[in-house]
Amino acid sequence: MRASPESRAAAGIAVTASTATPAPLLPRRRRATFLPFAPPLVGQEEIDEVVDTLRSDWITTGPKTRRFETEFAAYLAAPGALALNSCTAALHTALVTLGIGPGDEVVTTPMTFAASVNVIEHTGARPVLVDVEPDTLNLDPRRLESAVTARTKALLPVHYAGHPADLDAIREVAAAHGLAVIEDAAHALPARYKGRLIGSGPNPVAFSFYATKNLTTGEGGMLTAEPALLDRARVVSLHGMSRDAWRRYDQGGSWHYDILLPGFKYNMTDIQAALGLRQLEKLASFQRRRRQVVARYGEGFADLDALELPVERPDVEHAWHLYALRLRPETLRIDRDRFINELAARHIGTSVHFIPIHLHPYYRDRYGYAPQDFPVAWSNYGRLLSLPLNPRLTDDDVSDVIAAVRDVVRVNRR
C-alpha cells in the first residue's frame, strides 16, 4: 500500500508529529471508519526499489539480499547477518546449526507465538517451558536453574512486545551450564539492552520482517551471529548446498555444487530485500513515531485504575512492537473478550499477544499441561489486549483509540 502524505508525516518521514498540537484526550465522537490494528507503511521508495529489482537480471537471492545482510549487520553493529524467509526459519536454522536434535531440551517461554516452540519440536528436541516475569512478561531468569537438566542444550528467550529479556541473568545461567543462547527478537528491532542493540552479540538472534513488524519485507527474517556460525547456517538454510544460485549463475560462477547436509529452503529473495533496504533507511523515523504514540497512550490512560500499562525498565530501550495493555478485572463488569468487542464496535482494531503455548491443544496434550502450570502467563493472558501501534497512526487516530478505551472503561466500570 502506497503511503499517503498524512501517513508519511505520521511516520516522521516528511514532518515530525512531535511538533503537532496534541489532540484532546476528552471523549470525542466515534470513528466513522475502522482503524486496522497493524497495517504496513510502504512508500514510493520501497516501490521504486522493488521495480528496479524486477527490471534487473536477478529477483531471487542475489546482490540485493547480500547488500541487505551487510547493511542490517552494520545497523546493529552485529558480527554478521543471514537473510532468510522468516524469523521461524532463522530460529530453526540456528537450532540445527548448533546441532540440537532428538533427546535434547531447549528452555523457553510460554508467552510467545507458537513458532518459537514449533521449531524446537521440528528438530526432535523437547521444549521446556518456564514462566514469565509479572512486569515484562519475558522469561523469568529466576526459574531457569530448576528447568535445566543434563539434556538441556540451549535457552531460547523471547523479547516480548519489544522489551528485552534480562539477558545478563540468562547468560549467567547459560555460562554455568555450557548452554547456547538463541534469542527470538521477532519484536525487538531496534531494542537495546544496557546500551547495546539486540543482535549485536556473537550468539544467534532471530528477527522477523513479517507485514506487521517494525521493519517489513512482507515475509522475511534475519539471523545475526558470529561469522563462523553463519557460514554453517547459510549451508543449512539452502538445501545444504555448497554454493547458492547467484554464485553459480553469475558471471564467473561454476555450475558445480555439493550437498553437504540435508538442508532447507529458507532463503530470502531480492524482491523482499529491496523492501528491506528502504525500510531500514526509515526505521529510525518509524521508531520515533512509535515512541510518540506510546507517550500519548501513557498520558491518555494514566488516570485509569482499570488499566495496567506496559513497562519499560530503566536499563533497556523498548522497541515498542506491541502496546500490550492489561485490564484489572476487579474494576470492570466485562471481561477482556467483551472489552475487545466493545472497541471493535467503536471501530478500533485490536489483537491478543499471545495465547500461551501450554494452552494450545498440541502442547497441552503432548506434555500434559494444565492452565495453572504457568500461573503468571495464564493469569495475564486473560486480561491482555494489544492496541494499535504503528507509524501510520495519525494524531487523530491515537485520540480515537484513547477516547474509545476510556469510553469502554467508563461505561463498564464496576
Interatomic CA distance for residues 196 and 204, integer angstroms: 15
Map grid coordinates 530448576 to a residue.
146
Interatomic CA distance for residues 299 and 320, integer angstroms: 16
Residues in the chain, total: 414
Which of 124, 101, 70, 93 lies closest to 237, judged by CA? 93
Instruction: Confirm whether 213 is a catalytic residue.
Output: yes
Which of 133, 124, 90, 131 lies closest to 110, judged by CA? 131
Q: Which residue in 64, 153, 194, 213 is the catalytic one? A: 213
Peptide bond into 374 cis (omega under 30): no
Are 204 and 154 in contact by the 8 Å Cβ rule? The answer is no
Which of 225, 227, 178, 220 lies closest to 205, judged by CA? 225
Handedness of CA 398, 403, 406, 409 (dihedral sign): negative
Are 403 and 302 in contact by the 8 Å Cβ rule? The answer is no
Tell me the DSSP string of 209-239. -BTTSSS--BS-EEEE--HHHHHHHHHHTBT
**Sheet containing strand 81-84, strands side by side:** 81-84, 221-224, 205-208, 183-184
Please give the positions annotated as active site: 213
